[in-house]
Chain A
Amino acid sequence: DGGITQSPKYLFRKEGQNVTLSCEQNLNHDAMYWYRQDPGQGLRLIYYSQIVNDFQKGDIAEGYSVSREKKESFPLTVTSAQKNPTAFYLCASSTGGGQNTEAFFGQGTRLTVV
């Protein structure tokens, strides 16, 4: 089935560690996105990529890094510089360009700092 797969579902990180969240899509979408969800604040855009080997900062990029080496994959690294990383992280993809579709979302990764 076509869709977006995020892994792991739950992730625990010790303070000072970097962790990488995986996002894979088999929808042949050009554009991919990472959002962070905190209680009562809705979703905020961290990074997005509209094409392979290119990505842009969103509204809250500090303390995060991404790569887009393959069309299907858009991993997010939460670095030790992120002061408050405990949150729910959602990955999304869309066709972008002239043949837009609405964004499809993965099931999320819940990251907890211990």
Chain B
Amino acid sequence: AQKVTQAQTEISVVEKEDVTLDCVYETRDTTYYLFWYKQPPSGELVFLIRRNSFDEQNEISGRYSWNFQKSTSSFNFTITASQVVDSAVYFCALSEEDAGGTSYGKLTFGQGTILTVHP
């Protein structure tokens, strides 16, 4: 069975610091998909990124960057120059192909990391 581990329960930083959120996953599938979601205080999950298992290119989007390493089964997320608005719970998640085809909504989530950015 698949599993996602986010070892950092809570992280507290001061604005403008860089912060990295760790994610380690387990799966027996060769084809899988990794996601990061942000959950602000309002409650809904906001999609940040999807990465498939065949694409190990790192990605940068503004202040956000992601490092995918299959060799260590990790998909870490870095926020550069953090801001107060980045304060939220961040979830790493995994989906696999099944008999019905890939379903990006059938996700295994990590426990989440609570990020607090202080002014």
B-binding residues in A (CB < 8 A): 31-33, 35, 40-45, 48, 50, 58, 88, 90, 92-94, 96-98, 100-108, 110
Contacts and interface: CB of A to CB of B under 8 A. Distances in A.
A90 B9 CA distance: 21
Contact residues of A: prevailing secondary structure = strand
Contacts of A31: 103, 105-106
Which bucket holds chain B's interface residue count?
20 to 34
A44 B109 contact: yes
A82 B100 CA distance: 29
Contacts of A104: 47
Given A42-B110, A45-B106, A94-B104, A106 B44 contact: yes
Contacts, number: 75
Contact of B112 (A42, A58, A103, A105): A42
Contact residues of B: prevailing secondary structure = loop
B111 A48 contact: no
B81 interface: no
A51 to B, nearest CB: 9
Given A50-B100, A97-B101, A98-B101, A103 B109 contact: no
Contact of A88 (B43, B47, B50, B91): B43
A108 B50 contact: no
Residue in B43, B47, B100, B112 with the greatest tally of chain A CB atoms within 10 Å? B43
Interface in B61-113: 91, 93, 100-112
A27 to B, nearest CB: 12
Interface string B24-57: 0000000000010100001111110010000000
13 contacts: A31-B105, A32-B105, A42-B111, A42-B112, A43-B91, A45-B106, A45-B107, A93-B105, A96-B103, A102-B104, A105-B37, A105-B44, A108-B44
A94 B111 contact: no
Contact of B105 (A33, A88, A108): A33
A57 to B, nearest CB: 12
Contacts of B109: 35, 42-44
Contact of A103 (B9, B42, B100, B105): B105
